Structure 1
């Protein structure tokens, strides 16, 4: 199942965490969302305790959840849920939306 996540909202949330969040060991944190970026800046990650989201160059992105089957994860150019827990992903997206509205 493909999702229809707004990549602009994801990147806006990342930017707000990066500029307004607290320093943590490997990045920044704002509320309970953490962000990190690759050393070359071509990919960023957002995560909470249940979901992580990798955003790559050309706006390709991939969600990972606590119950994901590692054998089902493959490289891709479009965002897909694979065997992820869709409810966890929807909750995570809502957290990101709330964060962008709050800050």
Structure 2
């Protein structure tokens, strides 16, 4: 995946979910995006049903997808998993950008 992720936009989406979403326990949900914050406040997460995104201190980030582990996915090659992960991440990013525009 190309490094075209704008962390400022992601943090903007996080704030919108946090302030305008429904709070339940230690997370907030707006539409189908959930956000959480670490206890120390140094990292935040955004997630939907397929992808989660951890944004850490110093604007580092990491995506996790449903099928991160090729050993647990039956009948898929590593290339298939990479393509699926990329498609899931791109769909997730699109969803976040649309949410950012709506709110």
TM category (shorter chain) comes to 0.7 to 0.9
- Which structure has the larger Rg over C-alpha atoms? 2
Q: Deviations over 1:14-60 (max 9, x none)?
A: 00000000012331000000000001100000000000000000000
- What is the RMSD of the two structures over their aligned residues, measured on CA atoms? 1.9
**Larger relative contact order (C-alpha < 8 A, sep ≥ 6)?**
1
How many correspondences in the alignment? 93
Q: Does structure 1 residue 27 correspond to structure 2 residue 27? A: yes
Q: 2 CA distance for matches of 1:8 and 1:87?
A: 22
Q: How does 1:44-55 map to 2 (within 5 A)?
A: 44-55=44-55
Residue 57 of structure 1 is matched in structure 2 by 57
Which structure 2 residue ranges, 5 or more long, are not aligned?
A: 72-81
Which structure 1 residue ranges, 5 or more long, are not aligned?
A: 72-81
Tell me if structure 2 keeps the 8 A contact 1:34–1:47: yes
> How far did residue 4 of structure 1 move?
1.3
Taking structure 1 as the reference length, the TM-score comes to 0.83
Taking structure 2 as the reference length, the TM-score comes to 0.83
Q: Secondary structure at the match of 1:85?
A: helix
